[in-house]
Amino acid sequence: MRCRQLCFLGSLDPEKVKGKIVVCLRGVNPRVEKGEAVLEAGGAGMVLANDVTTGNEIIADAHVLPATHIKFSDGQILFSYLKNTK
């Protein structure tokens, strides 16, 4: 599951991702590569959520699909919402 959260290339299921906005956790692999993984799986966009290590740092990258970058505390709120609304 950790590989999917980090959005490694080849880790996302196209059946679940196609046409959707995917939330990726920052860390390990490059930020822009995460968007490439989402695009490769057919995703429509990406929300890049900081991990605890990167905290409130926001970096503007040129992504390959529509994307936004959110700080750690906002990511925790988003992950909680997603977990509780399935």
Phi-psi map region of 60: left, alpha, beta (phi>0 left; psi -120 to 50 alpha): beta
CA angle (64 as vertex; 18, 82 as ends), nearest 5: 45
Q: In 10 A of CB 80, how many CB atoms?
A: 10
Whole-structure pTM value: 0.86
For residue range 40-85, list pLDDT tens digits in order: 999 999 999 998 888 888 888 888 999 999 999 999 999 899 889 8
| Residue 57 main-chain phi, psi, to 5 deg | -70, 125
Enumerate domains of the chain plus CATH numbers.
Answer: 2-84 (3.50.30.30)
